């Protein structure tokens, strides 16, 4: 039986680079879960219950993204640090509380989500045609990030309403369509 790591390596992907990028993305997702949790209870002043609901939905989907990324890291024989502080140190730099103190916090949230799309585009470029499982994962998360951006833009009134549907919290529609992790990895035909 051949490992997932070996299959990806044989396909021409630098597995260590891939694991580093997946780990960075997982760190960003966990940080986002924390940030949105704080924002949903923080007195926002600029938002009504509608924005809080959107933030809760985004938070729950980001938690699913984190779980899926960690699963793929371990499938590739990667490992995350046992100490959360060490894990978070390797993450992307974030401006200190940019959304809470910005002149227009809702717009700052949209920009934050827009920036979150880029790492997944990079993962798609790295794995397209060579590592289908990671490619599909990155593409699904990227599509959900784009949906998050649309939800926030709708809230701001910059797009027509209709994309955000309450009651589907954390369902991650793109991620949910992916097949489950294989029990064992077979070499490509």
For the stretch 139-165, pLDDT in tens is: 999 999 998 988 888 887 776 555 555
What pLDDT, on the 0 to 100 scale, is given for residue 96? 45
What pLDDT, on the 0 to 100 scale, is given for residue 154? 83
Comparing CA positions, the residue from 116, 177, 144, 125 lying closest to residue 18 is: 125
**Is residue 188 very low, low, confident or very high in pLDDT (cuts 50, 70, 90)?**
very low
**pLDDT tens string 66-97:** 999 999 999 999 999 999 888 888 655 554 44
The mean per-residue pLDDT over the stretch 44-65 comes to: 82
Query: How many secondary structure helices (H) and strands (E) does the chain include?
Result: 8, 0
With 80 as the cut, is the pLDDT of residue 8 above it?
Answer: yes
Q: Report the chain's mean pLDDT, rounded to a whole number.
A: 82
Q: What is the pTM of this model?
A: 0.81
Buried b (16+ CB within 10 A) or exposed e, 7-32: bbbeeebebeebbebbbbbbbbbbbb
What pLDDT, on the 0 to 100 scale, is given for residue 162? 55
**Is residue 189 very low, low, confident or very high in pLDDT (cuts 50, 70, 90)?**
very low
What pLDDT, on the 0 to 100 scale, is given for residue 113? 87
Higher pLDDT, 33 or 93: 33
Higher pLDDT, 164 or 189: 164
Residues comprising the chain, all counted:
189
What pLDDT, on the 0 to 100 scale, is given for residue 137? 97
List, as own/partner pairs, every contact residues 114-123 make where C-beta atoms lie below 8 angstroms and the sequence separation is at least 24, other chains included: 114/149, 116/28, 116/32, 116/145, 116/148, 117/142, 117/145, 117/146, 117/149, 119/21, 119/24, 119/25, 119/28, 120/25, 120/145, 122/21, 123/18, 123/21, 123/22, 123/25
């Amino acid at each position: 039986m051949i490992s997932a790591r070996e299959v990806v390596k044989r396909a021409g992907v630098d597995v260590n680079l891939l694991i580093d990028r997946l780990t960075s993305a997982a760190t960003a997702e966990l940080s986002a879960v924390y940030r949105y949790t704080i924002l949903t209870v923080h007195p926002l002043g600029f938002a009504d219950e509608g924005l809080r609901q959107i933030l809760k939905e985004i938070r729950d989907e980001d938690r699913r993204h984190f779980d899926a990324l960690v699963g793929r890291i371990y499938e590739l024989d990667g490992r995350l640090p046992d100490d959360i502080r060490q894990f978070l140190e390797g993450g992307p730099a974030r401006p200190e509380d940019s959304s809470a103190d910005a002149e227009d916090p809702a717009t700052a949230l949209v920009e934050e989500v827009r920036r979150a799309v880029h790492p997944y585009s990079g993962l798609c470029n790295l794995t397209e045609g060579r590592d289908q499982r990671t490619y599909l994962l990155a593409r699904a998360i990227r599509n959900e990030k784009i949906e998050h951006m649309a939800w926030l833009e709708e809230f701001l009134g910059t797009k027509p309403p209709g994309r955000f549907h309450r009651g589907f919290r954390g369902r991650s529609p793109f991620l949910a369509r992916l097949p489950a992790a294989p029990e064992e990895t077979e070499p490509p035909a």
